[in-house]
């Protein structure tokens, strides 16, 4: 009888933000029957249970409220990155971030959503290459009806949620993936090249990964579990960033001739801290909204667990990163601690609905540790990641996806398949795109621009014109 409940993928398929449209249509038909039954026999429904329309309202409203919080994460990435780079590149990173959010919002409307969710066959690989996405005819009929008939309401309600509420929530997710790339490649990737890559990532690469999983494709059919996207969102961003970091190369003088890394201290530590608090806050929407529903007792119990676990994992991430940074970096390292929060958050994202909450602490502790140790690994490999995005989003994302096997009964082989398949696809396609960019318009600014700073060279402004008397010069 619980119509909206039928829209959830069965738990063993992973709770997915978004359904394939083919699946949704089948379900809608079933729901319509169920709904009609309720409407014909109102007494058959317990008076204490929410009605179908109310479930529809709450499920849609939840998408929107949580989606607004996820949008807010873009501001968090911006502050984190603008504070992490040197002042001479702080304006450009602001532009990259607001630009990527604008681009992602349009590409996902024009192409991305359809490719990810519309017409993905069961076990399939991609959705539809079609243009635009929007309000359904049934919804328009309801909105324009002077006096809506119950059948008109039912036709809309049977979809489970307002069409564009789901679109909105999915759109802010793809923006998150894009945000991960900007931080890693800061201070040397060309503005226009970056925007071009983001357009391809958000229109094509991410939606294909999404089609395999939340869209109902082959990884979903295998039973791959990734509740809110440790792999689908965060590792995807991380792989794309890694490919970019390899092609674009490290900042000039980041690595000394003897191979050791030069410290590149953040220019604005309070801004970095604010960014992490924003991300932490936004993550409640990121994980909470991925419950995809609010309209029943089970949903809200799961939601409460998700928010509690998200917070516990982030807290664990902070403390583990601070503790591990002491032996590893020889000091109490605020930036490691801040990145540890992100590592803990990424790690819990694959399974934030677990009911034994101490597991969230453990997953966060390890997530924060992986993130901190990962900084050392990248340095050893001479990969330059300005904000530590690859350890936090990719390494902790892999850990989180595998941790589902321990804490929530995921299948090791299936989870590993998902990690590797997404990794291979995203890394390979990103590498190709970055190579294409490199050998056409160029991926990287000139040495002169890099030394002068992208703000002055590409935008003709300074981020803090009255503060900095003399921009740092990159000599050893």
When binding is defined by CB under 8 A, the residue of 27, 142, 174, 386 that contacts a copy of itself is: 142
What sign for the dihedral angle of Cα 409, 414, 417, 423?
negative
Least distance from C-beta 359 to a copy of itself, angstroms?
11
Contact between 261 and a copy of itself per CB under 8 A:
no
* Footprint on residues 144-203 left by a copy of itself (CB under 8 A): 145, 148, 150, 153-154, 156-157, 162-165, 167-168, 171, 191
Query: What is the rounded end-to-end Cα distance, in angstroms, of the chain?
Result: 70
State the Cα–Cα distance between residues 156 and 142, nearest whole angstrom. Answer: 8
Cβ proximity to a copy of itself, 139 vs 411, nearer residue: 139
**Residues listed for the chain:** 476
Within 10 Å of residue 459's Cβ, how many Cβ atoms?
Answer: 15
When binding is defined by CB under 8 A, the residue of 178, 201, 335, 348 that contacts a copy of itself is: 335
Least distance from C-beta 308 to a copy of itself, angstroms?
4
Within 10 Å of residue 1's Cβ, how many Cβ atoms?
Answer: 14
Backbone phi and psi for residue 255, each to the nearest 5 degrees, phi listed first: -110, 130
When binding is defined by CB under 8 A, the residue of 7, 101, 227, 434 that contacts a copy of itself is: 101
Q: Angle CA(425)–CA(428)–CA(433) in degrees, nearest 5?
A: 120
Both tokens of 14, joined, read: 């992973």
Backbone phi and psi for residue 253, each to the nearest 5 degrees, phi listed first: 70, 5
Least distance from C-beta 334 to a copy of itself, angstroms?
4
Which ranges of 264-296 would DSSP assign to H, the alpha helix?
269-289
When binding is defined by CB under 8 A, the residue of 125, 129, 439, 464 that contacts a copy of itself is: 464
Cβ proximity to a copy of itself, 149 vs 428, nearer residue: 149
DSSP H or E stretch at residue 447: helix 447-452
When binding is defined by CB under 8 A, the residue of 33, 358, 377, 381 that contacts a copy of itself is: 358
* Footprint on residues 266-295 left by a copy of itself (CB under 8 A): 266-274, 276-278, 280-281, 284-285, 288, 294-295
State the Cα–Cα distance between residues 88 and 142, nearest whole angstrom. Answer: 53
* Footprint on residues 295-334 left by a copy of itself (CB under 8 A): 295-305, 307-308, 311-312, 314-316, 318-319, 322, 331-334
When binding is defined by CB under 8 A, the residue of 19, 23, 31, 95 that contacts a copy of itself is: 95
Instruction: Give the number of residues in contact with a copy of itself, rule: CB under 8 A.
Output: 143
Query: Which of the stretches 21-29, 117-125, 130-138, 424-432 binds a copy of itself when contact is defined by CB under 8 A?
Result: 130-138
Contact between 109 and a copy of itself per CB under 8 A:
yes
Least distance from C-beta 227 to a copy of itself, angstroms?
13
CA 61 vs CA 8, 21, 67, 445: distances in Å: 16, 20, 9, 44
State the Cα–Cα distance between residues 285 and 306, nearest whole angstrom. Answer: 10
Burial of 29 (0-12, 13-18, 19+ CB in 10 A): exposed
Q: Are 222 and 467 in contact (CB under 8 A)?
A: no
CA 236 vs CA 174, 208, 239, 425: distances in Å: 10, 11, 5, 9
Cβ proximity to a copy of itself, 91 vs 401, nearer residue: 91
Cβ proximity to a copy of itself, 435 vs 459, nearer residue: 459
Within 10 Å of residue 377's Cβ, how many Cβ atoms?
Answer: 13
* Footprint on residues 47-86 left by a copy of itself (CB under 8 A): 47-54, 56-58, 60-65, 67-69, 71-72, 74-75, 78-79, 82-83, 86
* Footprint on residues 3-42 left by a copy of itself (CB under 8 A): 35, 38-39, 42
Least distance from C-beta 63 to a copy of itself, angstroms?
7
When binding is defined by CB under 8 A, the residue of 257, 258, 265, 475 that contacts a copy of itself is: 265
């Amino acid at each position: 009888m619980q119509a909206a409940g039928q829209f959830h993928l069965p738990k063993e398929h992973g709770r997915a933000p978004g359904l394939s449209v083919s699946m949704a249509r089948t379900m809608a038909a079933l729901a319509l029957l169920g709904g009609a039954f309720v409407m014909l026999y109102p007494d058959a429904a317990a008076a204490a249970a929410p009605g179908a329309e109310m479930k529809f309202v709450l499920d849609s409203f939840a998408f929107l409220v949580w989606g607004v919080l996820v949008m807010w994460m873009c501001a968090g990435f911006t502050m984190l990155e603008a504070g992490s780079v040197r002042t001479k590149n702080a304006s450009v990173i602001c532009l990259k971030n607001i630009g990527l959010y604008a681009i992602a919002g349009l590409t996902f409307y024009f192409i991305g959503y359809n490719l990810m969710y519309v017409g993905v066959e069961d076990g399939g690989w991609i959705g539809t290459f079609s243009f635009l996405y929007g309000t359904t005819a049934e919804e328009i009929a309801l909105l324009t009806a002077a006096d809506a008939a119950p059948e008109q309401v039912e036709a809309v309600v049977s979809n489970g949620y307002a069409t564009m509420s789901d679109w909105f929530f999915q759109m802010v997710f793809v923006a998150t993936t894009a945000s991960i790339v900007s931080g890693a490649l800061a201070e040397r990737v060309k503005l226009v090249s970056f925007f071009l890559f983001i357009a391809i990532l958000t229109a094509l690469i991410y939606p294909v990964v999404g089609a395999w999983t939340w869209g109902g494709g082959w990884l979903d059919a295998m039973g791959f579990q990734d509740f809110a996207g440790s792999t689908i969102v965060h590792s995807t961003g991380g792989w794309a960033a890694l490919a970019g970091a390899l092609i674009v190369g490290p900042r000039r003088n980041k690595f000394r001739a003897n191979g050791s890394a030069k410290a590149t201290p953040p220019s604005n530590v309070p801004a970095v801290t604010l960014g992490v608090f924003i991300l932490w806050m936004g993550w409640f929407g990121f994980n909470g909204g991925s419950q995809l529903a609010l309209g029943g007792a089970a949903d809200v119990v799961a939601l409460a667990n998700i928010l509690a676990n998200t917070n516990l994992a982030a807290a664990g991430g902070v403390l583990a990163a601070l503790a591990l940074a002491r032996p590893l970096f020889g000091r109490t390292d605020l930036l490691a601690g801040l990145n540890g929060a992100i590592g803990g958050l990424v790690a819990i994202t694959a399974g934030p609905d677990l009911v034994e909450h101490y597991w969230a602490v453990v997953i966060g502790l390890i997530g924060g540790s992986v993130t901190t140790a990962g900084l050392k690994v990248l340095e050893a490999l001479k990969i330059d990641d300005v904000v530590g995005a690859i350890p936090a989003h990719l390494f902790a994302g892999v850990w989180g996806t595998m941790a589902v096997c321990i804490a929530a009964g995921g299948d090791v082989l299936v989870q590993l398949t998902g990690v590797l398949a997404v990794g291979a696809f995203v890394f390979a396609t990103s590498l190709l795109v970055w190579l294409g960019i490199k050998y056409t318009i160029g991926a990287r600014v000139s040495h002169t621009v890099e030394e002068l700073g992208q703000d002055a060279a590409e935008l003709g402004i300074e981020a803090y014109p009255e503060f900095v008397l003399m921009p740092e010069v990159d000599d050893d």
